[in-house]
Amino acid sequence: MCIGMAPPTKGLWPHPFIAREGWPFLAGTLALALLASLFAGAVLAILAWVIFVFVLQFFRDPPRRVPEGAGLVLVPADGRIVAVEKTRDPWLEREALKISVFMNVFNVHSNRSPVDGEVIGCWYNPGKFVNADLDKASTENERNAIHLRTADGQDITSVQVAGLIARRILCYVEPGVQLTRGQRYGFIRFGSRVDVYLPTTATPRVTLGDKVRASQDILAQLAA
């Protein structure tokens, strides 16, 4: 079963521009900044406000225009492409094309479904918290995977991977849920990675080093 707090809201962006996951952090850092401004020196007050602004930008969750087209696999998270390779999908035990997106602390950390499909399976694995930019993070770090199946029977695995600073993976779906491309299904706090395992017949639409945006950019094209 996926870990998390609540099921996804219907539709693509019926939620606040600032993710709900960040509200407690924003309230805490805002209170700290106000107290520092009233009772501390200028240096501490400035530092407190810098922390508040950092938290504010981290939890932003802007709407995105979702591309249309048959067989498109969308980018599930903002960040940089750090892997495009043929490898083994450990969740479905098959050969697959893996494409990985690394999110630094300045990226949007909301995770969105790469395809239209039904959630078939969901797995959570505890693990380490090594730098998510490293390939070994895919097999050693804390991670949460969902198995999606499209209407034409193609299987996609989307894996949230915790990073060096990230200590909390949130996933809001369970088997049987239908997701649409670009629909929000999870969140990872403070730096992380998402691995997408595709059929080997899929064609990558990104290359190593590309900077991508969730739901707006195309990750790959599935074979008809």
**Residues that are catalytic:** 192
- Those residues with Cβ within 8 angstroms of residue 80's Cβ, 6 or more apart along the chain or in another chain: 101, 102, 104, 209, 210, 211, 212
At 96, which helix (H) or strand (E)? Answer: strand 94-103
Is residue 34 packed enough to be buried (19+ CB in 10 Å), middle (13-18) or exposed (0-12)? middle
Q: Could you give the maximum distance between any two Cα atoms of the chain, in Å?
A: 64
Give the residue among 108, 119, 104 at the shortest CA–CA distance from 4: 119
Per the listing, tokens 């501490």 go with: 44
